[in-house]
Amino acid sequence: MNTFPPPAKFLVEPYELRKAGTILLTSIAMIEASHASRAGRPVAFLYGQALLAPLVKDLVHLANACVHTAGNYESCEAALTPKFLAGFEQFEPLLVKAAAAVALAVETGLGGGETPVVVTQSRVTGGSASAAAGINGEANALSALVHQLGATADAREISVEVSTHPDGRQFKVFIPGTENWQPLTSSNAFDLTSDLAAMAGPGVAAPERAVIKALKQLGFGTQHGDSILLTGYSEGGLVGANLIASGAVTALGGSVAGLVAVGSPISSSHLPAATRVISIEHVNDPVTRLDLSDARPTNHWFKQKLDPVGLLGHSLAGYRGSIDGLGAAETTKLSAELEQMQKIDAGASEAKTYWFHVKRS
């Protein structure tokens, strides 16, 4: 007797499958964030890790099944109708932006939503992240940026490294990811509210306004030759992309040297064609796919896919480990890209790093 089940058949719109995949991926991100907040209680944390890991693995499996099935359907459609896929890919990110805008509006209706931010300089330290690791492929220069990003996230602040060069100053801004996953607005500007705002579009999210305030305090754009390199993790990368897309940074008077995004959903961001971008993504990081796009919009957009790490591949520690362990070929390639963004010369002054505490008012 044949005990195999009959072959599965789908009678479902591909959009429904995409939606299902997105909800599953969002749920996974929330479970991970919720679990990370247990770190202060090691027994509950380890017990939770043991209980949740197989459940998350199953959710990832379901999400992948939805996304792959939708992808197969779209591939067939694309072969039959050449313009279908291009049109569909343009349409999908708009749906995500609309959904985020609606969610933000609902949250605002419930008494939450975006608020003004207060940005206070907390300290100044010496030294340069890039100098610490060397340049020109001699060491992993990207690693230095990501380690500084980690230090910024650990401090729960944003940091700006300023160095003076013969042809002008360079500002390197480091923006952390989401720190608070409460459904309603909290005092922390890096919360779910600002996540939704950043996904909805540029110019609204609290961290974007915080970076502009910090740059104004430091006088960015007031001297000839000022340029900026934005580096962000997760939500921070999206915030960086939005700051470039909205023109908020260039409105201050300086120029944009580039954007380094780590684990960020920025593929659907509309950046000027000349903007240099390095986007680092673990292939199993669901957050990078939240905008439902995997495009490389311009020739200056360098996307580095990394081998899967851990169950979800989104932790900053995982990214640090992967970048530290990159092979010589990838390191040389990435360092060459970074060289286009960073001002590197012997006549540079000692860099200073300014740290800013950000909170909602």
Contact range with other proteins by CB under 8 A, out of 15-23, 76-84, 97-105, 274-282? 15-23
- 118 touches other proteins by CB under 8 A: no
Which two structure tokens, joined as six digits, stand for 126? 């010496």
Alpha-helical regions (H) of the chain: 14-36, 42-80, 82-109, 129-133, 141-155, 192-200, 206-218, 235-246, 316-324, 328-341
- 83 touches other proteins by CB under 8 A: no
Task: Output the smallest distance, CB 45 to other proteins, in A.
Answer: 9
Angle at 69 between CA 64 and CA 72, to 5 degrees: 125
Task: Output the smallest distance, CB 18 to other proteins, in A.
Answer: 11
Contact range with other proteins by CB under 8 A, out of 52-60, 91-99, 123-131, 155-163? 52-60
Closest CA relative to residue 33, chosen from 61, 20, 52: 52
* Amino acid letter for position 5: P
- By CB under 8 A, how many residues form the interface with other proteins? 35
Residue from the set 1, 2, 4, 38 that interacts with other proteins by CB under 8 A: 38
Contact range with other proteins by CB under 8 A, out of 18-26, 86-94, 194-202, 231-239? 18-26
Contact range with other proteins by CB under 8 A, out of 90-98, 177-185, 317-325, 349-357? 177-185
3-class state of residue 184 by DSSP: coil
- 51 touches other proteins by CB under 8 A: yes
Task: Compute the distance between CA of residue 176 and CA of residue 174 in angstroms, rounded to an integer.
Answer: 7
Closest CA relative to residue 344, chosen from 335, 353, 332, 333: 335
Residue from the set 26, 115, 246, 250 that interacts with other proteins by CB under 8 A: 26
Residues 201, 202, 208, 209, CA torsion sign: negative
Task: Compute the distance between CA of residue 296 and CA of residue 39 in angstroms, rounded to an integer.
Answer: 36
- 39 touches other proteins by CB under 8 A: no
- 47 touches other proteins by CB under 8 A: yes
- 64 touches other proteins by CB under 8 A: no
Q: CA dihedral in degrees (217, 228, 293, 311; nearest 10)?
A: -80
Residue from the set 31, 78, 101, 344 that interacts with other proteins by CB under 8 A: 31
Residue 122 CA, chain-centre distance (Å), reads: 24
- 111 touches other proteins by CB under 8 A: no
Q: For binding to other proteins (CB under 8 A), which residues are involved?
A: 5-6, 8-13, 16, 19-20, 23-24, 26-27, 30-31, 33-34, 37-38, 41, 43-44, 47-48, 51-52, 55, 58-59, 62, 181-183
